[in-house]
Amino acid sequence: AGAYASDDTVQRRLAQNRRNAAVLESVTAVNDQGQAYTLAELAATGTANKPIRRMELLTRVAGFELIAKERGDIAYMVTMTCPSRFHKKSTRADGRVFNNPKYDGSTPDEAQRYLSRQWSRCRAALLRAGLRWYGVRVAEPQHDATPHWHCLVFMPPTTDKGQDAAQEMTRLVRRYFLLNESPDERGAEQHRCDFKAIDWTKGSAVGYVAKYVSKNIDGHGVGEDLLGLDAVASAQRVEAWASTWRIRQFQ
C-alpha cells in the first residue's frame, strides 16, 4: 500500500532525521578564529543539504557532458532491472498490483547486491573488449522496493579494438543483465535492459538524468513521480528506502 517503503519505515526514518537535526542544532563548533557555528549550520553548507547534493551531482554530469563533447564521445541512458524472482509484486495491464508467484523471498539489499555483482562482471568484460566508459549511476526503487538502475554512460564511438562501441556495450550489458538468467521469462526482453541513445542536437545529457537525480533526493521540479505521487513526498519515501536497505543511490 505504501510505495517504496512501508508507512512505519517512513515515519521511523523521519523521526530519526528529527533527532539528528536536534543534536546538530544543540552542538556549537568554534574555529581557531573564534567563529562559532552550530553543526546544523555547517552541515547545511555541504552535501547533507539536499539542494546542494542535487546540484553537485548535476554539475558533475554537466562536466561529463562537456568532456564527452570535446572528445567526440557518444552517450547512452541504460536501465537495468532485476529478474522477476526479486520482485515481490507484479502489476497487471490495468494497473492492479498482485503477489508475484515467482518471488523467491529476496530482500531489496539482496537485489542490489545482484545488480552490483552483474555490473562488476559487465565492467570487466567491457574493459577486456577495449571499451572505456564513464558516467553516473542512479539506483531507485520500484513500487515494491526492488531496486533498478539508470546509468548515463559516455564512451568513444569505437573501442580500442576498432569495434562499434554502442553495439559492443549493448551486447555485453544484455549478456550480464538479461541472458545470464531466465531470459525467456515474460517481460524480460522488454524490461530487463533498456538503451536510449542521446542525441546532442535534441537536448543535454543533464536533461536526461535530472529527473532521476531529483526524484531520488528532494523531488525538486519533478511534480509527480511515475506512480502519480507528489515527488517531494515520494522523495522522503525513497530516502527511507535507501537508508533502510543501505543502498548507495548515486555512483
- Given a contact cutoff of 8 angstroms between Cβ atoms, the answer to whether 133 and 119 are in contact is no
Widest Cα–Cα separation across the chain: 67
Residue 43 contacts residue 49 (beta carbons within 8 Å): yes
Told to judge if 208 belongs to the known catalytic residues of this protein, a careful annotator would answer yes
| 212 in catalytic set | yes
The catalytic position among 76, 114, 176, 208 is 208
| Distance between CA atoms of residues 203 and 201, nearest Å | 6
| Dihedral sign from CA coordinates of 40, 41, 46, 49 | positive
CB 154 within 8 A of CB 72: no
* Dist. CA 155–CA 63, nearest whole Å: 14
Find all residues with CB under 8 Å of 75, minimum gap 6, and list them: 65, 68, 135, 152, 153, 154, 155, 197, 198, 200, 205
CA distances from 121 to 47, 51, 176, 233 (A): 31, 34, 7, 36
* Catalytic choice (4, 76, 176, 212): 212
Contact by Cβ (8 Å): 153, 133: yes
Of 72, 227, 226, the C-alpha closest to 157 is 72
Catalytic residue positions, numbered: 208, 212
